[in-house]
C-alpha cells in the first residue's frame, strides 16, 4: 500500500488512519524498460508528465540485458534530470534502477563491473532517487541530492544464482 501525506487531503485510507497523521511516503511504480524499445524522448516526456500528474514520485526502471534497455534508461535519466535542474514548479519525478538479475549477465567479474559502471553513471545524475541516511527517522527520502550522505536507491530481484565469478 502506498500513501502520501497531504495537508489538503484528509481522506481515510488503509486501516482508517488520517493521511495527515502518517509520515510522508514515496510512491513508486515499476517501469519495464523491456517495453520501451521504440520509445523516443517524446514518449518518455509523456510518461514522466503522466507520473507527475498522478503524484508518482519515482519510477523503478526494470533493467534487462539488452544494450538498448541501458540506452533507454540513460534517456529517461537525462530527461528526469533536466526536470530536476530547471526548477519547474512542484516535485519532479525521479528514477532508480531495478536490476533483473534473473536475466542480466552475472557469471563473471566483468559482468559485475559493467553493472557497477551503469549504476554509478546514472546514480550521479540529478534524476536519481536518493535516501539521506543520517535523518532516516525524520525524512529519509532526499529530493535534492545536496546531502553528502545521500545514497542512491537501487533495487534488484531474482539472481539467487548470480556469482560474478566467485564460487558460492
Pair 128, 157: CB distance under 8 Å: no
Q: What pLDDT is attached to residue 89?
A: 57
- Calpha distance 31→127 (Å, rounded): 15
Q: What mean pLDDT do residues 97-122 have?
A: 95
Distances (CA, A) of 60 to 15, 79, 132: 26, 15, 18
Cell representation of residue 119: 549504476
User: Is residue 151 helix, strand or coil?
Assistant: strand
Percent of the chain residues topping a pLDDT of 70? 72
Return the HEC string of 81-93. HHHHHCCCCCCCC
Between the alpha carbon of residue 16 and those of residues 24, 25, 27, 76, 96, the distances in Å are: 16, 17, 19, 37, 31
Q: Which of 19-28, 64-73, 126-135 has the lowest mean pLDDT?
A: 19-28
Reported pTM: 0.77
Confidence at 134, pLDDT banded by 50, 70, 90:
low
Q: Quote the CA–CA distance of 9 and 65 in Å, as a whole number.
A: 41
**Distance between CA atoms of 106 and 56, rounded to whole angstroms?**
31
Amino acid at each position: 500500500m502506498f500513501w502520501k501525506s497531504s495537508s489538503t487531503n484528509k481522506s481515510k485510507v488503509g486501516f482508517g488512519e488520517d493521511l495527515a497523521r502518517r509520515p510522508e511516503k514515496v510512491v513508486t511504480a515499476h517501469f519495464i524498460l523491456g517495453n520501451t524499445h521504440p520509445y523516443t524522448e517524446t514518449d518518455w516526456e509523456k510518461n514522466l508528465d503522466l507520473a507527475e500528474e498522478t503524484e508518482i514520485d519515482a519510477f523503478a526502471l526494470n533493467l534487462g540485458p539488452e544494450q538498448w534497455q541501458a540506452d533507454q534508461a540513460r534517456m529517461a535519466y537525462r530527461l528526469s534530470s533536466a526536470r530536476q535542474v530547471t526548477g519547474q514548479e512542484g516535485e519532479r519525478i525521479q528514477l532508480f534502477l531495478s536490476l533483473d538479475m534473473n536475466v542480466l549477465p552475472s557469471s563473471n567479474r566483468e559482468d559485475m563491473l559493467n553493472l557497477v559502471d551503469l549504476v554509478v553513471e546514472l546514480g550521479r545524475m540529478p534524476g536519481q532517487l536518493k535516501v539521506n541516511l543520517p535523518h532516516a527517522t525524520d525524512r529519509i527520502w532526499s529530493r535534492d541530492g545536496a546531502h553528502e550522505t545521500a545514497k542512491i536507491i537501487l533495487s534488484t530481484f531474482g539472481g539467487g544464482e548470480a556469482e560474478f565469478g566467485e564460487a558460492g
